[in-house]
Amino acid sequence: MKKITLVSIVVMIVVGYFYFFQPHITFEEVRVTYEPEEIKTVYVNVTGDPLCAKLYILDHMENNKPVASKEPLFLAMPMGVSSPEDGSLAYSDNIFVFKGYRYQLKENNKLTNDSRDLYSHRFDVIAWYVITPYKKWNVKTNAEEINEPEIIMEPVSYKLDNKHHNSSQFVKGNYVDCLR
């Protein structure tokens, strides 16, 4: 009786492990575009987590204000180049245009050898610019004052000099989609 109970428990644990954790399924990201494309995004001030994605694909404009879609962009910047999400231009409703390569997520099943394509948010950035006018953080040192933004007209952009755009040259940030 004891033996049967023990075997049943082990079977349940193994089944539970495969059901919940699916160790036989792996994911990999592969580029889907070989020619760079342009994507227009809007900076969304979602502060749920330190790793929240901030740039969402621009859906449309409403009363001159950008409306974000629910699709984030997980930027992979060239090695050593910082993302505009980290700088002083990271302000709500600023519109950034990125040029680069999209990806697809491939789900592979090691048991059945099946594979299926899923949407990936990764985007390798080879150039970007911010649409003017844009808002820039004006940081006050006084702890009792609100940091109001400045309105700036001066263009800001970035372009990768290197003409080789292999995946390995780009570093994807550790992102979470906080709008879902």
Partner 1 sequence: MIALTRLILHTDSIKNADVNTFKNAAVTLSKFYKSNYVGDSVKVKFVRSGQEIVEEINNVAVGKLITLDIVSHGNQGGIHIARKLPKTERPGFIQKNAHVMIRRHSDNPQTEVDAEYMEESMHGLYSDHFSKLGVAYYYNQTFERSTDINYLNKIEFNRFANSSVVEFHGCRTAEFIPGLNSWIKDNFAKNFSDSLKGKGIVIGHITNSSPNKHPNGNDNDYRYGKVRIYKNGSMTKDAVERWGLKFENSSTP
- Give the footprint of partner 1 on this chain (CB under 8 A): 20-23, 25-29, 44-52, 54, 85-88, 90-92, 105, 107, 118, 121, 137, 139, 143-147, 172-180
Q: How far is the CB of 3 from partner 1 (least distance, A)?
A: 28
Q: How far is the CB of 86 from partner 1 (least distance, A)?
A: 6
For residue 140, count CB atoms less than 10 angstroms from its CB and return exposed for 0-12, middle for 13-18, buried for 19 or more. exposed
Q: How far is the CB of 85 from partner 1 (least distance, A)?
A: 7
Q: Where are the alpha helices (DSSP H) in the chain?
A: 2-21
Cβ nearer to partner 1, comparing 44 with 160: 44
Share of the chain residues as helix, strand and coil, in percent rounded to the nearest 5: 15, 45, 40
Q: How far is the CB of 179 from partner 1 (least distance, A)?
A: 7
Cβ nearer to partner 1, comparing 4 with 143: 143
Cβ nearer to partner 1, comparing 129 with 137: 137
Cβ nearer to partner 1, comparing 38 with 86: 86
146 Rama sector, left if φ>0, alpha if ψ -120 to 50, beta otherwise: beta
DSSP string, 120-153: EEEEEEEEEEEPSSEEEE---S-TTS--PEEEE-
